[in-house]
Amino acid sequence: MPRKHTKSDNDKMSKKNTGYNNRKQKIVYFAVSALVLMTSIICIAVLILVTILYKKVDGLEESIEALQDIRQYDSYVTNRPVDMHNEALDIENSVPDESEIVDRAEAAVLDDSIVQLQGIGNNDDGIRRVYLTFDDGPSSNTDRILDILDSYGVKATFFVVGKNNYTQQYKRIVEEGHTLAMHSFTHKYKEIYASLDAYKYDLKQLHDFLYELTGKDCTIVRFPGGSSNTVSKVDMFELIDYLDGEGIIYFDWNVSSGDASGTYLSADQIAKNVLDNVNRFDNAVVLFHDAASKDSTVEALPIIIEKILESDNTVILPISGDTVKVQHLHH
Ligand SMILES: [Zn+2]
């Protein structure tokens, strides 16, 4: 006979039910907790993943930018004649003391629209002023150049780099009344044009180096490759603003001797390049290079100086703070 449910049975049942409900609640509680925990973990994981990806994309963009710069630089270098390309590579790897610097960018043919605005119609006195300027020295040719200038009683401007083995030449430039001007300490495009700070550092290095050697506080500068160079990663106007703030004047050129071009030019060709163009300007700033390999530049100098001095109302002067500015870039 089936046993009747007694009160105590009901109690047992209800206890059993309560126990069952408690377990159920615990399971639900654990399930929900686990779900919340897992969701949190997934969220954090996704967040970390997104951050990593974002950084990677950022890095990738930087890499692409860097690559584009390198490509631009390389094409800049490779689009020039082969021997120039080699020279360019030499420049990048050079220690200024040991190897000469030849500025390929300064060989670039100037856009006439840039040049024609410069150095024309500036002089009220009707006197043409010619400024002979020499970049990238000193070199083993500096003394020869100084001797020639001295023999004609002519003063020039030397945009020098930093070299340890030419103490006497820096001093001679100053002692003989020429303008000692700054070009770059290292003349390494990739370094000096990497940032404003890098440019400042290089120029200060050169300034202090020259001040210690000669006592001259140089205030005239020429950018490697000129202000119109297309190599700089920094906006050239940023560098120009910096120079303005420091009271430093930059000069480009409006007449190129062509002596930095890849092919060897004879003294006669260099002289022709200069003499054909000097007369176009009231203020002609002529670009030469003072480098060991530039013998034909040295040989062209007497021809050039004699012709200029023969011209009426024409003088040869060193650049000073008062010189009419010949600059490729203007605000
Ligand atoms: Zn140079």
User: Quick one: pLDDT band at residue 152, thresholds 50, 70, 90?
Assistant: very high
pTM for this model (two decimals) = 0.70
Residue 219: CB atoms within 10 A of its CB come to 16
Task: Summarize pLDDT for 186-220 with one digit per residue, the tens.
Answer: 999 999 999 999 999 999 999 999 999 999 999 99
Residue 28: CB atoms within 10 A of its CB come to 10
Dihedral sign for Cα 156, 96, 300, 284, please.
negative
Distance 184 CA to ligand 1 centre (A): 8
- Give CA–CA dist 327/42, Å, rounded: 61
User: Quick one: pLDDT band at residue 77, thresholds 50, 70, 90?
Assistant: very low
Distance 260 CA to ligand 1 centre (A): 9
- Give CA–CA dist 87/215, Å, rounded: 33
Distance 102 CA to ligand 1 centre (A): 6
In order, the DSSP letters of 144-212 are HHHHHHHHHT---EEEEE--TT-HHHHHHHHHTT-EEEEEESS--HHHHTS-HHHHHHHHHHHHHHHHH
Distance 319 CA to ligand 1 centre (A): 17
- Give CA–CA dist 133/304, Å, rounded: 13
Residue 214: CB atoms within 10 A of its CB come to 17
Dihedral sign for Cα 236, 234, 98, 80, please.
negative
Task: Summarize pLDDT for 101-151 with one digit per residue, the tens.
Answer: 656 666 555 555 555 556 777 788 889 999 999 999 999 999 999 999 999
SS3 at position 42: helix
Distance 125 CA to ligand 1 centre (A): 33
Distance 181 CA to ligand 1 centre (A): 12
Which structure tokens are listed for 210? 């020259």
- Give CA–CA dist 304/236, Å, rounded: 32
Distance 139 CA to ligand 1 centre (A): 13
What single-letter amino acid sits at 51?
Answer: T
Distance 100 CA to ligand 1 centre (A): 10
- Give CA–CA dist 211/15, Å, rounded: 100
Distance 40 CA to ligand 1 centre (A): 61
Distance 261 CA to ligand 1 centre (A): 12
